[in-house]
């Protein structure tokens, strides 16, 4: 009867995914297997997006399904055998910016590519980025912004990281609607990347998991 969770999630069958997750747990299966399958599925979803087969709503919806699977599985997960992640990535939309669709896609692609992602949401004050980097000892910081009016907030955030003495520990990339290499220079970040795939490639280069 083993319906394939990977296929179900890739095909965005919400109810079936939740049912199969429940059934597999009840049957006493190792919850980590379920998480692995879900991750495998999300990788395929990400690939379909990269190939223009899937669109933003498909990603948003798969994310919502994944969230629920995680909620069911989480209480049963043991700490020890968490799959090894490539590296820690803190991301958020900078202060003053409420756009999150693009940033969420970046988070999503990083996550399915094996990074441990700490997504701080939107309108994130510089200090919150700094605190998180310290707390989790992140290796990469990603700043998202869609408005010309947040160029300054990008710069302020990079400055705050510097002031906190963390600039050597963390590489910074920026992206989103109106960002480009000019803004990269202005803000003092290390790189600009135009889309989620490019963000993943660069993060792998930086962390050495390429």
Tell me the CA distances in angstroms from 175 to 92, 114, 150, 180, 189, one per residue in order: 11, 20, 12, 7, 10
Q: Measured between alpha carbons, how far is residue 21 from residues 44, 58, 64 in Å?
A: 19, 20, 15
| Long-range interactions of 36-39: CB distance < 8 A, separation 24+ | 36/83, 37/5, 37/6, 37/9, 38/5, 38/9, 38/66, 38/69, 38/70, 39/83, 39/112
Question: Which one of 3-11, 38-46, 60-68, 185-193 is the stretch in contact with other proteins (CB under 8 A)?
Answer: 60-68
Q: Is 99 one of the binding residues for ligand B12 (CB under 6 A)?
A: yes
- ∠ Cα 110 67 18 (to 5°): 130
Q: Which does 12 bind (CB under 5 to 8 A by kind): other proteins, ligand B12, none?
A: other proteins
Residue 36 Cβ vs other proteins, minimum distance, rounded to whole Å: 24
Residue count, binding to ligand B12 (CB under 6 A): 28
Instruction: Tell me the C-alpha distance between 198 and 204, whole Å.
Output: 10
Site residues for other proteins, window 1-20 (CB under 8 A)?
Answer: 12, 14
5-15 CB burial, b ≥16 within 10 A, e <16: bbebbbebbee
Single out the residue of 148, 163, 201, 210 in contact with ligand B12 (rule: CB under 6 A).
148
Give the pair of three-digit tokens for residue 190. 């290390």
Q: Does residue 163 bind ligand B12 (CB under 6 A)?
A: no
Partner in contact with 14, chosen from ligand B12, other proteins, none, beta carbon below 5 to 8 Å by kind: other proteins
Among residues 5 and 196, whose Cβ is nearest to ligand B12? 196
Q: How far is the CB of 56 from other proteins (least distance, A)?
A: 6
Nearer to ligand B12, 37 or 100 (CB): 100
Tokens 């896609």 correspond to 105
Q: Which of 4, 22, 33, 55 binds other proteins (CB under 8 A)?
A: 55
Site for ligand B12 in 55-84 (CB under 6 A): 56
| Contact assessment for residue 126 and residue 95, using Cβ atoms and an 8 Å cutoff | yes
Which residues bind to ligand B12, rule: CB under 6 A? 56, 96-103, 105-106, 142-144, 146-149, 173-178, 193, 195-196, 199
**Binding region for other proteins (CB under 8 A):** 12, 14, 54-58, 60-61, 64, 96, 98, 101, 148-149
């Amino acid at each position: 009867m083993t319906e394939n969770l990977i296929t179900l999630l890739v095909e965005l069958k919400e109810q079936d995914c939740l049912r199969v997750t429940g059934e597999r747990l009840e049957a006493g299966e190792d919850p980590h297997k379920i998480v692995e399958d879900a991750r495998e599925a999300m990788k395929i979803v990400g690939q379909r997006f990269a190939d223009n087969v899937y669109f933003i709503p498909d990603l948003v919806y798969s994310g919502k399904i994944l969230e629920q699977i995680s909620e069911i599985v989480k209480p049963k997960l043991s700490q020890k055998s968490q799959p090894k992640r490539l590296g820690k990535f803190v991301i958020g939309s900078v202060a003053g910016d409420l756009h999150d669709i693009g940033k969420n896609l970046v988070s999503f692609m990083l996550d399915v590519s094996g990074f441990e992602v700490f997504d701080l949401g939107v309108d994130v004050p510089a200090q919150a980025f700094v605190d998180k980097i310290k707390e989790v000892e992140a290796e990469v910081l990603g700043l998202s912004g869609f408005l010309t009016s947040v160029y300054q907030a990008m710069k302020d955030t990079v400055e705050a990281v510097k002031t906190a003495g963390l600039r050597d520990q963390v590489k910074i990339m920026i992206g989103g609607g109106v960002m480009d290499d000019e803004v990269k220079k202005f803000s003092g970040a290390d790189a600009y990347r135009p889309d989620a795939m490019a963000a993943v490639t660069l993060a792998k280069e930086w962390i050495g998991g390429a």
